[in-house]
Structure 1
């Protein structure tokens, strides 16, 4: 089956997903939603699509089967809710929702619309190299701790320094370092080790109260994981998962490109595979399979949905610990 795809958001990540969707052969872009018609038309030119909508209700009634949402975090909830009510499958960029209350309402809607599938687009955990990480961690006799780093200078940080407040650095849009960049390592950590027993977040605030960078500590029964992330500087540090004498080194936890396992004798074993041309192809194919083969993939889908909800709860707990409140929380 080929799914009629609609998109909300016309930035680079949307283009990358549409290209992956086309490459999979299981989607056809048929509708574009944009607040400005000219922006939507410009995006559509690359894919020979001229069906551009500026009204959300009309967009959802255009005959699409699935929507990919890459709008600001704060508007995900209403856009996802409306899609589900229209019995449209949803692929929503991370962070999916602002808080657990929003997620609980979405779960209730999903229970009422049982044919709808909801996916959070955490592409890195679906890539083949992440599966290699999972397999190697399972082989390590003991985990002693880990450090994950993802610190990348935002293309919008100069704008912030100039006195403006871009969406990705604003609490108004449920954004900041944690929900924009920190979610990459935190998703990986929870996928590998499960929900932490406790969590703490030491945030470096911006002048508007959002977090520009920070260090989170996730506590497990036998070890702790330190997570460092930020949008106002560049880090070139690797991420590491520590065993006893052995160590797993990950070059970039968001792109999952380089994986090296150092055994007890300090011998390096290169584990990573050559990445796909488009890093979103694996998730595009997986989501299509889960929409098509609902019975066969029911357990895997429910596991993925539970993971997404757990990540949402941990992000909220970290924000609470740091005293960061989004308008959507009230």
Structure 2
């Protein structure tokens, strides 16, 4: 059994635990929370025997083999590095860190401590993403990747009413690009690598984070168009356009319905059934890597995480979205 601690007692951690309990080898051992009361409540709900209110306690605990980090983006790097310096394997929520410098530090730390670090971006692990890779040759030379993730935030009305919320606070290195746009960027990188050019524009909220935006990324033979939003919904599918046809993708997080529409007028359904707990597949990968003493995923590789971080950072700089974490790294 791989004994996990979780950092973060939010809805995404709840989804993680529900999915992980379907994976052989997973054991929830500990919960970290800043308050004992909140941590104990969460631990009781999910039958975790240990509750810690100190990150150092988690890092040094002999009861923990691996840590799942689902804290605000700005905390990812320091928390992961603390855990890895104490020999813990780390599965860290997307985006892996605030900027490229932090991602580089995390990867260096993982290698120095001979532990596993993996970005928890689930899209690239689900069966239907493998189907995209398997069938993409059928559409001929790819000319355009169009991906959209626009989801009206459940907290946006509270923000408009004047409430101060972490999800719209640049102190935590978030906003539409980091929270939702990354779901479009990472699969692009996994399929096509690093672009030659990154352009972007966004609508900024008064708090200092982007409410929505779009990216245009240039490759040698194709371009990518990415749209994302936390202040509006979109009901359009994503699409990979080739000279012989297009792959239509119902949703990027995660893809469930896939269809190839060929230029000659025919079509082909290529979807596979997937578990409703779509985080299951990334957890299976992580646990398998730990059990086999492997220190890097060949799917969510260090290189993919670095390229994604560079794209996000370059886009932010062009849109003048600067976080305190960016200034701290320069200092």
> Do these two structures clear the TM 0.5 threshold for a shared fold by scoring above it?
yes
Residue deviations 1:49-79, cap 9 Å, x none? 2411111111222220000000000111110
Match of 1:315 in 2: 312
Match of 1:101 in 2: 101
Counterpart Cα distance in 2 of 1:60 and 1:146: 41
Counterpart Cα distance in 1 of 2:87 and 2:69: 15
Give unmatched runs, 5+ long, in structure 2: none
Residue deviations 1:205-245, cap 9 Å, x none? 10122100001111111121110000011110111111124
**Contact 1:199–1:318 under 8 Å retained in 2:** yes
Residue deviations 1:130-169, cap 9 Å, x none? 1001112233321121211110011111121112232122
Counterpart Cα distance in 2 of 1:102 and 1:214: 24
SS at the partner of 1:144? strand
TM-score, normalised with respect to structure 2: 0.95
Match of 1:75 in 2: 75
Match of 1:91 in 2: 91
1:263 aligns with 2:262: yes
**Contact 1:246–1:266 under 8 Å retained in 2:** no
RMSD: 1.5
Q: CA deviation at 1:298?
A: 5.7
Equivalent residues in 2 for 1:1-330 (5 A)? 2-63=1-62, 64-114=64-114, 116-294=115-293, 300=298, 304-330=301-327
SS at the partner of 2:87? coil
SS at the partner of 2:298? helix
**Contact 1:149–1:237 under 8 Å retained in 2:** yes
Counterpart Cα distance in 1 of 2:296 and 2:230: 37
Q: CA deviation at 1:118?
A: 0.2
**Contact 2:116–2:296 under 8 Å retained in 1:** no
Q: Count residues with an aligned counterpart.
A: 326
- Compared with structure 1, are the counterparts of its residues 28 and 137 closer, same or farther at alpha carbon in structure 2 (3 Å cutoff)? same
Q: CA deviation at 1:264?
A: 2.4
Counterpart Cα distance in 2 of 1:243 and 1:34: 48
Counterpart Cα distance in 2 of 1:236 and 1:108: 40
Residue deviations 1:237-271, cap 9 Å, x none? 11111112411100001121111101122222111
- Compared with structure 1, are the counterparts of its residues 148 and 318 closer, same or farther at alpha carbon in structure 2 (3 Å cutoff)? same
SS at the partner of 2:252? coil
SS at the partner of 2:307? helix
Counterpart Cα distance in 2 of 1:286 and 1:329: 31
Residue deviations 1:29-59, cap 9 Å, x none? 0110001222112211222224111111112
- Compared with structure 1, are the counterparts of its residues 165 and 201 closer, same or farther at alpha carbon in structure 2 (3 Å cutoff)? farther
Give unmatched runs, 5+ long, in structure 1: none
Q: CA deviation at 1:25?
A: 1.7
TM-score, normalised with respect to structure 1: 0.95
Counterpart Cα distance in 1 of 2:163 and 2:194: 36
**Contact 1:182–1:228 under 8 Å retained in 2:** yes
SS at the partner of 1:160? helix
